[in-house]
């Protein structure tokens, strides 16, 4: 446990449970959580709860860059960035949120520069910028250099910079504390009110109640529902799952992004920045096949388009390797200097994990599960919604766990590092404004009761099923049935598998009965969240009978704006162990926000997605 003396002095132990009181509690210490903390800390008593040490958060794995229309290298504008974000998201983007993202991007980059982030520089000393997929000049006419970067370690640099500034501000960190419940109470109208968070101390096995006026979730994604993924082992959707179990909705959960260039068979990411520097995708015959699919911007088309084209090349027999099951990323023409200076990490990854040297030979790649576009629904202030326009007072979310919706059905590369900074900052700022006039909601009599029951139930279960076996089965089935291409049949099949796994989950066995750093128990808890989220992904995907962005239905290959130009909203309504998802999941719709000009015309009307 790592806390400041301020945090220690506020704790009280009652019936073996530690009680703390803070104005703002932030769950998650990645980029979004720490950016929120930097904004909230000076104005309110703030705590950050994180199941990892902050600098191990997954933001550190982001490689390529952070988008902002600085126009340091080429002409650019925030309006063009907004257009690309909306078009790239296949028009399911809330356009007011996209405009905020693009406008505030410039200040977000300058904020990080002022905090000390070592961006790559132009010869004139300005922040350097490079190309990235889907980012264009003049509304799609040509690729543009918009990604600000620090070699191919941009996320790592952002994470370190934000953490150093949190330390400078004296932010209270509770490291290796696993948040397992959101404390809510109902008011006289039956609406949800936030009272804090319950967390499990991995070092001691003790429970801690954090009584707070505001809670910000910044817990990241849930890519571990898939086997082939760029996500770390810890990205199990805890925050999203907690909110789901409290009866609050999830938005657009069916949209999952598959990054085109994962190392074949492994999923370890090779940044899109490589293609931004000029790397080329080739099939087994050496053809630059993206010229056939996206003749204008070729290999720098949006990720969903490139991923589908790669899979199509393999399915049509043009794949490479002994089993013809991957394509190549060719960096050989870039030269050793570019690879070693601008792309050192991916060069080392290829050498280490595949034994391939990108300087002299192409690298085998295939799409890997990378990013959840959907999540906890919020408005542009970061406030969490309990219905389409109705907020939960004092509850906020930011980063990958949240759905603003600024990414729509497909996120553009470099907009994720931008999202965590823009909306992390907004969430922190608005939480402080809220707590200045809000009162603490009284805690229930035993706020840790549900978590205690869950932990002890898992620890003392005498079943025979193994967590690793169930998790492996879930991930393999999601890879096979709910990945880049989907159909009614495959999605129905995986839902049946998930139901079977839920029944087996009741019979799991945890070998470690101890309290200190019980990772066996931790993984059992995480598997419960993975099962919840995988089922919602598959169920919502089966309900959306169209293809849009990261959601490709082979049985409904066209985009259907008439019926599906709206956000999916999923609600938990019953026992998740019931065999039919219709018994416990209710799906509804939420309109997409379109912005208009002074003439009352749509600023960004839905268009064909040709590149």
| Dihedrals phi, psi of 328, to nearest 5 degrees | -115, 145
Cα distance between residue 417 and residue 208, in whole Å: 31
**Active-site option among 35, 303, 471, 544:** 303
Q: Contact at 8 Å (CB) between 182 and 49? A: no
Sign of CA dihedral 396, 548, 234, 36: negative
Cβ-in-10-Å burial (0-12, 13-18, 19+) of 488 comes to middle
CA 184 to chain centre: 24
As a whole number of Å, the CA-based R_g of the chain is 23
Whether 303 sits among the annotated catalytic residues: the reply is yes
SS (H, E, C) 372-409: ECCEEEECCCCEEECCCCCEEEEEEECHHHEECCCCCC
Relative to beta strand 391-397, strand 207-217 is parallel
Q: Contact at 8 Å (CB) between 393 and 381? A: no
DSSP secondary structure letters along 69-133: ---SSS---HHHHHHHHHHHTTT-S-HHHHHHHHHHHHHHHHHHHHHT----B-TTSSBPEEEEE
125 CB-near residues (< 8 Å, 6+ apart): none
Cα distance between residue 374 and residue 321, in whole Å: 34
Sign of CA dihedral 355, 361, 364, 367: positive
Cβ-in-10-Å burial (0-12, 13-18, 19+) of 287 comes to middle
Q: Contact at 8 Å (CB) between 147 and 130? A: yes
Cα distance between residue 291 and residue 295, in whole Å: 5
Which residues are known catalytic residues?
A: 303
């Amino acid at each position: 446990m790592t806390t400041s003396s301020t945090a220690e002095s506020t704790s009280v132990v009652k019936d073996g449970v530690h009680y703390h009181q803070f104005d703002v509690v932030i769950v998650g210490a990645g980029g979004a959580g720490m950016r929120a903390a930097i904004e909230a800390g000076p104005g309110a008593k703030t705590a950050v709860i994180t199941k990892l040490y902050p600098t191990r958060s997954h933001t550190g794995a982001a490689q390529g860059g952070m988008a902002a229309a600085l126009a340091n290298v080429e002409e650019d504008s925030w309006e063009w960035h907004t257009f690309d974000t909306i078009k790239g998201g296949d028009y399911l983007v809330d356009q007011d949120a996209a405009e905020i993202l693009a406008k505030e991007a410039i200040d977000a980059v300058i904020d990080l520069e002022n905090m000390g982030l070592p961006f790559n520089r132009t010869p004139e000393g300005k922040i350097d910028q490079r190309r990235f997929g889907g980012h264009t000049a003049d509304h799609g006419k040509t690729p543009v250099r918009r990604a600000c970067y620090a070699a191919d370690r941009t996320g790592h640099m952002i994470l370190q910079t934000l953490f150093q500034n949190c330390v400078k501000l004296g932010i209270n960190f509770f490291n290796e504390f696993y948040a397992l419940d959101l404390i809510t109470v109902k008011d006289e109208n039956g609406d949800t009110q936030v009272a804090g968070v319950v967390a499990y101390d991995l070092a001691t096995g003790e429970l801690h109640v954090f009584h707070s006026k505001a809670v910000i979730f910044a817990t990241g994604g849930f890519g571990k529902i898939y086997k082939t993924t760029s996500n770390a082992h810890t990205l199990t959707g805890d925050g999203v799952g907690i909110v789901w179990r409290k009866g609050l909705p999830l938005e657009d959960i069916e949209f999952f992004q598959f990054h085109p260039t994962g190392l074949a068979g492994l999923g370890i990411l090779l940044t899109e920045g490589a293609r931004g520097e000029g790397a080329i995708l080739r099939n087994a015959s050496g053809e630059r096949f993206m010229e056939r699919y996206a003749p204008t911007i070729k290999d720098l088309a949006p990720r969903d388009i490139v991923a589908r084209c790669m899979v199509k090349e393999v399915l049509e027999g043009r794949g490479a390797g002994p089993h013809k099951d991957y394509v190549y990323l060719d960096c050989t023409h870039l030269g050793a200097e570019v690879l070693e200076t601008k792309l050192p990490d991916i060069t080392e990854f290829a050498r280490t994990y595949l034994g391939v040297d990108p300087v002299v030979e192409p690298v085998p790649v295939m799409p890997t599960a990378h990013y959840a576009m959907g999540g906890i629904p919020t408005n542009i202030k970061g406030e969490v919604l309990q219905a389409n326009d109705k907020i939960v007072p004092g509850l906020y979310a930011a980063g990958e766990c949240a759905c603003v919706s600024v990414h729509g059905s497909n996120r553009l590369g470099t907009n994720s590092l931008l999202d965590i900074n823009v909306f992390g900052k907004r969430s922190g700022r608005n939480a402080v404004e809220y707590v200045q006039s809000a009162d603490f909601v009284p805690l229930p009599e035993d706020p840790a009761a549900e978590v205690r029951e869950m932990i002890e139930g898992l620890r003392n279960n005498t079943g025979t099923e193994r967590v690793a076996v169930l998790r492996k089965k879930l991930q393999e089935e999601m890879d096979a049935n709910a990945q880049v291409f989907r159909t009614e049949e495959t999605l129905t099949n995986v839902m049946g598998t998930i139901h079977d796994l839920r029944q087996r989950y009741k019979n799991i066995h945890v070998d470690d009965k101890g309290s200190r750093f019980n990772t066996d128990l931790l993984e059992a808890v995480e598997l419960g969240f993975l099962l919840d989220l995988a089922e919602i992904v598959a169920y919502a995907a089966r309900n959306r009978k169209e293809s849009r962005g990261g959601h490709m239905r082979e049985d409904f290959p066209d985009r259907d704006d008439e019926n599906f130009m709206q956000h999916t909203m999923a609600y938990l309504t019953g026992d998740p162990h019931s065999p039919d998802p219709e018994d416990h999941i209710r799906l509804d719709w939420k309109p997409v926000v379109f912005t208009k000009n002074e003439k009352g015309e749509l600023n960004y009307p839905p268009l064909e997605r040709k590149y």
